[in-house]
Amino acid sequence: MFSLQNKITIVTGAGSGIGAAIAEAFARSGALVYVAEYNEDSGKETVAKIEEAGGTAKLAVVDVTQENTCQELIKRVLVENGNRCDVLVNNAGVGHVGTILTTELADLERLWRVNVLGDYHLCRAVLPSMIERKSGSIVNIGSIASVMGMESRFAYTVTKHAVLGLTRALAMDLGPVGVRVNCICPGRVQTPFVEARLREYPDPQEYLKQMVAPHTLKRMAQPSEIAAAAVYLASDESAFVTGSTFMIDGGYSTGK
């Protein structure tokens, strides 16, 4: 296991799914984890799980679409930890089903505010301290939709492409000062959110087959498999990795 011993970390959208798995994996690896979550109740659940397992976590209720709350979160972390924040994971995100003709401007703006501006706000707030210390790792959670078009996922594809572009631009600018920025791009992941959506279909098992089919491994990922990559990218063992696109897609993009 890669060590995050004594690292100060923030994981957004950590109340469930991939974010919760990353927060729990970070804590198991020795990090202090700020569970940054819009939904206070789900954030508390993640903190409780971490503490029950012997880890250390703090709840931080934050709306990533609001610049002031992002700045307040980073200020709190820095004040409480001697101007240190070692790792930021931008995981918070939302989706939308539709083509450009069925996607209203309000839908696109909502996804842009969460998926792109959320990352922008938090990076802007945390980077001065990382640059000053000449150290830090930012892990952005993209998607298979960051590297290829997805049918009826217009707004999601647009914004996840932007997340990858943001990652690459930051990596170019920040490499010389020792701050690393990488992007994890999962295929479909079996999260509580996905399972809830499956139950909405008349034949959940048939739709599950359709979701699994594009992956050459013929299954969806587990959140823990995404978390394992995040631990590596947050650790010192990945010190020569920046600007990278980590495809964890079960072969989805292999033939694309």
Residues assigned a catalytic role: 156
Please give the Cα distance from 8 to 209 (Å, whole number). 40
Residue 4 structure tokens: 């995050």
Please report, for residues 137, 139, 154, 197, 235, the alpha-carbon distance to residue 133 in angstroms, rounded to integers and kept in the order given.
Answer: 12, 18, 39, 43, 16
Angle 186-240-163 from CA coordinates, rounded to 5°: 35
Whole-number Cα distances in Å, 216 to 67, 204, 220: 40, 21, 10
Q: Which two tokens stand for residue 49?
A: 């799980």
Paired tokens of 169: 């631009």
Asked if residues 88 and 123 have their Cβ atoms less than 8 Å apart, the reply is yes
